[in-house]
C-alpha cells in the first residue's frame, strides 16, 4: 500500500487508492491513486455556500422591502413600539404569536385578516408583522391592491411576480380599490395564486365581516371566500387612535384653560 498524500492543514488524505479494470478481457484490475477532497476543504466550501445563501437571502429581503409600500411612519414599527389599547390588545397578541409561529403557519399557508374601523391601528400592526419577519430574514412584501394593479397595467409579464414570490404578502386596506372587472380579476389572480401555492396573506380592511360574508357581487364574493379560507379574522375595535389623540389634545387644552 503506497503512502497517500495528506493535507498539511487538516491531516486528512487528499488521495485514495482504487481498483481500476485493465479492460484486456482478463478481468484483472490494477491499483490506481486518485485525488479526493480533504475534510477542511469540504468544510470551507460548505461555509462559503452558506455565506452565499445568506447574502442572496438578505439581498432578496431588501429587494422586496424596496418594492413594499410601508409609509415612513410605519418603517420602523415593531411590536414593542405598538401602543396597546383595549381595542387592539387581542390583535397585537395574535400578531406576536403569528411571527413566533411563522414557520409552522407558513407551511400551511395560513394568514390573518385584521378588520375594523378606520384608524384602529390595523395597518400599524400589519407593518409590525412585516418588519419583525424581515428582521428575521423572511421575504415579505407589504402592498395594496391599487399598487398591485398599477404593476399589472405595466403589461410586464413578471410584474406580479413580487406578490407571489414573497414568503408573506401583506395587503393593506382591501376594499379601497377601484372595482373594475379588470382590477377585481387581477386581485383574484394574486390571491388565488397564493392560495394554490400555500403561501400566506396578511390582510387589513375597513370592511365589516358581515359585509364580506354576505356580499352578493360574485366578483367580490369569490375573492372574500378565498380570503376566509386563508386568513383568520381578527377584529380591532374601540376608540380609534386618531380620536384618542384628539381627546388627549383636548385634555391638554382643558388643563391650559383651567377647566
Provide the binding-site residues for Zn ion, judged by CB under 5 A.
Answer: 7, 9-10, 38, 40
Distance separating alpha carbons of residues 186 and 145, to the nearest angstrom: 9
Q: Residues 228, 214: contact at Cβ < 8 Å?
A: no
Nearer to Zn ion, 10 or 69 (CB): 10
Residue showing the smallest CB distance to Zn ion in the complex: 7
**Three-state secondary-structure class, residue 180:** coil
Shortest separation between residue 92's beta carbon and Zn ion, angstroms:
52
Shortest separation between residue 39's beta carbon and Zn ion, angstroms:
6
Q: List C-alpha distances in Å: 102 to 1, 95, 132.
A: 56, 10, 11
Shortest separation between residue 4's beta carbon and Zn ion, angstroms:
13
Nearer to Zn ion, 42 or 54 (CB): 42
Shortest separation between residue 42's beta carbon and Zn ion, angstroms:
8
Shortest separation between residue 8's beta carbon and Zn ion, angstroms:
8
Q: Give the closest residue to 17 by CA, choosing from 2, 38, 27, 39.
A: 2
Distance separating alpha carbons of residues 84 and 92, to the nearest angstrom: 7
Q: What phi and psi values does residue 69 have, to the nearest 5 degrees?
A: -110, 75
Nearer to Zn ion, 7 or 67 (CB): 7
Nearer to Zn ion, 48 or 246 (CB): 48
Nearer to Zn ion, 46 or 103 (CB): 46
Q: How far is CA 43 from the centre of its chain?
A: 31
Distance separating alpha carbons of residues 195 and 120, to the nearest angstrom: 28
Shortest separation between residue 46's beta carbon and Zn ion, angstroms:
13
Neighbours of 172 (CB within 10 A): 26
Nearer to Zn ion, 33 or 176 (CB): 33
Q: How is residue 1 written as a grid cell?
A: 500500500
Distance separating alpha carbons of residues 201 and 194, to the nearest angstrom: 8
Amino acid at each position: 500500500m503506497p503512502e497517500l498524500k495528506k493535507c498539511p492543514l487538516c491531516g486528512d488524505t487528499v488521495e485514495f487508492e482504487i481498483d481500476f479494470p485493465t479492460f484486456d478481457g482478463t478481468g484483472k484490475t490494477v491499483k490506481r491513486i486518485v485525488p479526493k477532497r480533504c475534510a477542511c476543504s469540504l468544510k470551507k466550501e460548505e461555509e462559503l455556500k452558506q455565506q452565499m445563501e445568506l447574502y442572496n437571502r438578505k439581498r432578496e429581503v431588501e429587494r422586496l422591502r424596496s418594492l413594499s409600500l410601508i409609509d415612513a411612519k410605519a418603517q420602523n414599527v415593531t411590536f414593542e413600539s405598538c401602543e396597546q389599547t383595549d381595542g387592539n390588545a387581542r390583535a397585537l397578541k395574535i400578531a406576536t404569536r403569528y411571527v413566533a409561529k411563522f414557520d409552522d403557519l407558513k407551511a400551511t399557508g395560513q394568514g390573518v385578516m385584521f378588520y375594523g374601523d378606520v384608524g384602529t391601528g390595523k395597518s400599524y400592526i400589519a407593518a409590525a408583522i412585516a418588519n419583525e419577519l424581515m428582521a428575521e430574514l423572511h421575504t415579505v412584501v407589504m402592498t395594496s391592491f391599487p399598487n398591485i394593479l398599477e404593476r399589472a397595467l405595466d403589461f410586464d409579464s413578471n410584474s406580479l411576480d413580487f406578490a407571489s414570490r414573497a414568503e408573506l404578502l401583506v395587503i393593506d386596506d382591501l376594499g379601497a380599490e377601484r372595482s373594475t372587472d379588470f382590477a377585481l380579476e387581477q386581485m383574484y389572480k394574486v390571491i388565488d395564486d397564493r392560495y394554490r401555492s400555500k403561501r400566506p396573506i396578511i390582510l387589513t380592511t375597513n370592511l365589516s365581516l358581515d359585509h364580506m360574508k354576505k356580499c352578493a357581487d360574485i366578483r367580490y364574493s369569490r375573492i372574500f371566500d378565498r380570503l376566509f379560507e386563508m386568513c383568520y379574522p381578527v377584529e380591532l375595535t374601540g376608540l380609534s387612535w386618531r380620536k384618542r389623540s384628539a381627546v388627549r389634545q383636548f385634555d391638554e387644552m382643558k388643563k391650559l384653560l383651567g377647566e
